Amino acid sequence: MKINQVKSLFNKSANVLLYFILFYPIASCSPSKYLNETNYQFKNPSGKPDYSNLNYWASHPWKTDAADNIPLSIQNKKEDSLVDVFFIHPTTYTDVKMSMGWNAEIDNEALNKKTDNSTILYQASVFNEHCRIFAPRYRQANLKAFYTMDKLEAEKAFDLAYEDLKAAFEYYLKYYNHGRPIIIASHSQGTLHAGRLLKEFFERKPLQKKLVCAYIIGLPVFQNYFMELQPCSDSTSTGCFVSWRTFKEGYIAPFIAKEKEVAYVTNPLTWTISEEFAPAKLNRGGILKNFNKVVPGVVSAQVHGNILWTSKPKFFGNIFLKTKNYHIADYNLFYMNIKENVTTRITSFLKK
């Protein structure tokens, strides 16, 4: 996935702020409300992550962190941990002034808290019923890298971020994997890096046989990107990937309309790439601002061209939701469907 294939992902109007508040609360999650024993006050003179140190993992099996949380209404976690998840979080370095430069500082306390109380809690936690979760901190590129006309600086920023993630994955393989099945999961900027990781370490490599599934969500996966990896054909397929970008039904963003390549799109209510409409009754539940509240039937879903169309999310106050780009909630809107599908695919994989 080259930088020139990555388009603007966020509605630049004031609706984004409202959407952020309703769907993806970054700082509103009180640390005392959820499990979180992470150390945020570490300092790194070198600036480079050291993955032998737990401080450089947003989520790790050897510590209590935000990904360990389970919504109160579904307190049914099983401690089997049959599979490992390598989760690559999306962009949380959204500072328009780029106070840390093109790439985030690895030991920035405020940013690490922001990351954990948003994507690690609301996205990575979906995998915790049957999986050990490894989510590395990395020197992520600033959000501006997706928009800038300075493609050279953007490429350098993304390459540095990938350098960290590659090092984290190599450390994971050497010291933690021990032949266990793997799920690769990501969102947005994380998916840009996950695509590279899958091509470098899995595709046409022995490790491909250990791939349960890749949940590479929030950026397009064009049909010519992988040489061998294919989209999952149904809910039980393994060794494949799923991907989608979520928008309100009837809306096609200008940058989507300009795309000339065909992207694979999975419907997370049917787990197929069919354009068949999936009614909201198939939605097992999404998680919006209140992490502990599952909202059944929050949206319907239908594949439309390169994107996934959904109905307007159902929640108190949705009258104020004006944005039609639901990118931030790509995971949230289908939380329970993803959670159940992880179980299904692991069961299918282990039967082989």
| pLDDT, tens digit (0-9, with 9 covering 90-100), for 160-179 | 999 999 999 999 999 999 99
In the Cβ-directed half-sphere of 295, how many Cα atoms lie within 13 Å?
Answer: 18
Name the percent of the chain lying above pLDDT 70: 88
9 — pLDDT class (breaks 50, 70, 90): very low
Answer yes or no: is pLDDT of 74 > 90: no
The stretch 96-125 carries a mean pLDDT of 97
Average pLDDT, the chain: 90
The per-residue pLDDT for 10 is 35
**Ordered strands of the 246-248 beta sheet:** 246-248, 307-310, 301-304
The per-residue pLDDT for 79 is 61
* Bridge partners for 325 per DSSP: 247
Domain housing 308:
3-351
The stretch 50-60 carries a mean pLDDT of 97
DSSP secondary structure letters along 184-211? EEEETHHHHHHHHHHHHHTTTSGGGGGE
Q: From the CB of residue 47, how many other CB atoms can be counted at a distance below 10 Å?
A: 10
76 — pLDDT class (breaks 50, 70, 90): low
Residue 161 phi, psi (nearest 5): -60, -45
The per-residue pLDDT for 35 is 52
Answer yes or no: is pLDDT of 20 > 80: no
Name the percent of the chain lying above pLDDT 90: 83
Q: Strand 294-295 relative to strand 246-248: parallel, antiparallel, unpaired?
A: unpaired
The stretch 65-69 carries a mean pLDDT of 94
315 — pLDDT class (breaks 50, 70, 90): confident
Which residue blocks in the chain are alpha helix, DSSP H? Answer: 15-23, 109-115, 121-122, 151-172, 189-201, 254-257, 335-351
The per-residue pLDDT for 7 is 40
Answer yes or no: is pLDDT of 335 > 70: yes
Alpha-carbon distance 244 to 153, whole Å?
A: 27
CA angle 97/330/203 to nearest 5° reads 95
The per-residue pLDDT for 284 is 97
Answer yes or no: is pLDDT of 16 > 50: no
Number of domains, the chain: 1
The per-residue pLDDT for 352 is 84
Answer yes or no: is pLDDT of 216 > 70: yes
